[in-house]
Homo-oligomer: A and B are copies of this chain.
Amino acid sequence: MSADIVPLPRRQPEEPASLDPILSLTAPGMNAVNAVILDRMQSEIPLIPALAGHLIAGGGKRLRPMLTLAGAELVGYQGTRHHKLAAAVEFIHTATLLHDDVVDGSEMRRGKAAANIIFGNPATVLVGDFLFSRSFELMTEDGSLKVLKILSSASAIIAEGEVDQLTAQRKIETSEERYLNIISAKTAALFAAASRIAAVVAECNEEKEEALDAYGRNLGVAFQLVDDALDYDSNAAEMGKDQGDDFREGKMTLPVILAYARGDEDERAFWKAAIGGHRTSDEDLAHAIELIRRHGTVDATRERARMFAQRAIDAIAIFPDGKARQAMAEAARFAVARGY
């Protein structure tokens, strides 16, 4: 036996994972998509491109259109129809972000002042409506009724999910089941649709369509779970929004649902007050983060996310191995690992 002290390995909770493979896979296509986005957010009313551009140029990851492009690579699609449709997907997403910011009274988005702060709620609502209409114009130009059905249905489900989330806000009794329903609707439905339409333009069979849908849907759930975990993760290196927003808004996300379930009587009383909007100071947030750490519910949330990411990866196992499948699998692992 050696006398050297072997240090315990530092906790490496995730395999290293990166978005780079999917970024390079989709880079040429994303240039085309970005060109459509910039072209079609124009209007004779100058406030529209000004407001839309503030958010669109604001450095989002464009994950959803990327899924359409990656899916197209995966199924070997050779055409260009998916560029317009991927732009339509991003417009739907942008419209929901604009409306979300009004709904939540957000102050920051992607590290900048949110559009509603700069341009006001009225213009932000209306430009969201414009982008939403524009997305349906793009789909109609493409002409696939199947794509229109998938994306109009996803849009209705997103709105339902957002309303459901609003209804659950400040309700401490929200269950994990209901929470999962909410994020499946408000986030995963568009991920699923964005992936699925790649199979539709490529005229794949139903099995492949379903596989891409399942990839996107599970990835979307994983993505939202980690987003919600990051809001309470004191170790988080990367923050997409102001930490503590969910707490102050009384949103019932999984780290809180589990901390409430695992907590003792005093802790539950604290959560009731906090989610009810009566304890929302910085000290209260620090206490919430401490309780969440005590019960390991950020890790538990990531654990759920890991399972959904694995389901995403398994869903595309029916496709031949190759660059596209590997990039998509790594994107799913990245969705779980990000923030570390």
Q: Does A156 lie at the interface of the complex (its beta carbon under 8 Å from any beta carbon of B)?
A: yes
Q: Which of A46, A129, A134, A153 has the most B CB atoms < 10 Å from its CB?
A: A129
Q: Does A261 lie at the interface of the complex (its beta carbon under 8 Å from any beta carbon of B)?
A: no
Enumerate A123-178 residues with CB–CB distance to B below 8 Å. Answer: 123, 125-127, 129-130, 132-134, 136-137, 139-141, 143, 145, 148-149, 152-153, 155-156, 158-160, 162-164, 166-167
Question: Roughly how many angstroms separate A312 CA and B272 CA in the complex, as a whole number?
Answer: 61
The answer to whether B103 touches A130 (Cβ under 8 A) is: no
Question: Roughly how many angstroms separate A87 CA and B141 CA in the complex, as a whole number?
Answer: 23
The answer to whether B130 touches A159 (Cβ under 8 A) is: yes
A135 → chain B, closest Cβ, in Å? 9
Instruction: Sample 5 A-B pairs with CB under 8 A, ordered by A number.
Output: A43-B160, A125-B125, A126-B162, A133-B159, A140-B152
A97 → chain B, closest Cβ, in Å? 12
The answer to whether A152 touches B136 (Cβ under 8 A) is: yes
Question: Roughly how many angstroms separate A163 CA and B99 CA in the complex, as a whole number?
Answer: 15
A6 → chain B, closest Cβ, in Å? 55
Question: Roughly how many angstroms separate A102 CA and B102 CA in the complex, as a whole number?
Answer: 10
The answer to whether B148 touches A140 (Cβ under 8 A) is: yes
Q: Which of A45, A46, A148, A167 has the most B CB atoms < 10 Å from its CB?
A: A45
The answer to whether A140 touches B145 (Cβ under 8 A) is: yes
Q: Does A44 lie at the interface of the complex (its beta carbon under 8 Å from any beta carbon of B)?
A: yes
**Closest B residue by C-beta to A104:** B122
The answer to whether B156 touches A130 (Cβ under 8 A) is: yes
A139 → chain B, closest Cβ, in Å? 8
Main secondary structure of the interface of A (DSSP, over half): helix
Q: Does A291 lie at the interface of the complex (its beta carbon under 8 Å from any beta carbon of B)?
A: no
Q: Which residues of chain B are within 8 angstroms of A153 by Cβ–Cβ distance?
A: 133, 137
Assembly of this chain: how many copies? 2
The answer to whether B123 touches A47 (Cβ under 8 A) is: no
**Closest B residue by C-beta to A150:** B140
**Closest B residue by C-beta to A92:** B133
A96 → chain B, closest Cβ, in Å? 8
Q: Does A18 lie at the interface of the complex (its beta carbon under 8 Å from any beta carbon of B)?
A: no
List the 6 closest A-B pairs by CB distance, nearest first.
Answer: A130-B159, A133-B155, A133-B156, A136-B152, A103-B122, A129-B159
Enumerate A42-60 residues with CB–CB distance to B below 8 Å. Answer: 43-48
Given A129-B99, A136-B136, A136-B152, A48 and B145 contact (CB-CB distance below 8 Å) = no
Enumerate A18-72 residues with CB–CB distance to B below 8 Å. Answer: 43-48
Q: Which residues of chain B are within 8 angstroms of A141 by Cβ–Cβ distance?
A: 149
Question: Roughly how many angstroms separate A103 CA and B116 CA in the complex, as a whole number?
Answer: 12
**Closest B residue by C-beta to A98:** B125
Question: Roughly how many angstroms separate A45 CA and B160 CA in the complex, as a whole number?
Answer: 7
Q: Does A243 lie at the interface of the complex (its beta carbon under 8 Å from any beta carbon of B)?
A: no
Apart from A125-B125, A130-B163, A132-B132: 13 A-B pairs, beta carbons within 8 A: A43-B160, A48-B160, A99-B126, A121-B121, A126-B166, A129-B132, A129-B158, A133-B153, A133-B155, A136-B136, A137-B156, A140-B145, A145-B145
**Closest B residue by C-beta to A137:** B152
A197 → chain B, closest Cβ, in Å? 13
A200 → chain B, closest Cβ, in Å? 13
